[in-house]
Structure 1
Amino acid sequence: MSAPVLEGWFTLDAEPRLIGNRCRRCGTYYFPRLKTGFCRNPDCDGESFEDTPLSRTGRLWSYTNAAYAPPEPYVACEPFQPFGIAAVELEQERMIVLGQLVRGTELSRLALGMPMVLVLEALDDGKLTWKWKVAT
């Protein structure tokens, strides 16, 4: 199996999940995981978090195309190939997570509210990353 592009950000299982964390006091979810010692929820003074796998399904909240190469840590191939980006509201956590759409996704066929599922796909350098795919 290929190495992940970002170690510890997602599982490499057959049904991959992003790895976030959750405030033990108020239950607020975070992705990527918080590295600070306090909850960002203004109504909470929690300072303890637990790692948690996040939902792998959700609904398309927004989308766009990336017509130019994003900054690091993204590894862009040369010549750069535009790709789609999806904002997906996770099913259980109700938080929005951005990610690329799988290769070949036609933006003209997308509609807000469509069911989406998290999958792994290899980048041009062979490393794996998470991407969003229309659920069938």
Structure 2
Amino acid sequence: MKATITASLAALVLLTLAPFGRADDRPALSGNFLPSVLASSEAHRDSLTKVIKGRQRMPVWVKSMMNDPRYISLASEKVEVEGRPMQLFKTCEPRTCVDSEMRVLFSADGKHAVVLVRDKKRGEQFLGDPSAGEKEALER
């Protein structure tokens, strides 16, 4: 009898906690902030650096964001692009968000990044050769 009660309680605890567990070890694609993702993920850092490095007409805050994270970042959103889960970040320069913003779209593993930079003085630029679906996700 005691063993049955113990087993029942254990099953109840497992069923109660099941929604909080993840089916895999991959990090969540939503609810993250770009500075912490770049600090903790080499794949994200490398792919974004590759896309931004050496580009012309970039706002200063974008050029320096890898070493000096003085920008505002909203929590990431999980988006589906051409049937693939991706992670979308929206960032901007403090006090001038209306005039200078950047959106970054990463593959789920962080190894692929595409960017949209909108700046009142420098215009709109897509970086990283985004597909049509990726452009659509960046423009949302």
More contact order relative to length (CA 8 Å, sep ≥ 6) = 1
Q: TM-score, normalised by structure 2?
A: 0.29
Q: 1 or 2, which has the higher helix percentage?
A: 2
Q: 1 or 2, which has the higher strand percentage?
A: 1
Larger Rg: 2
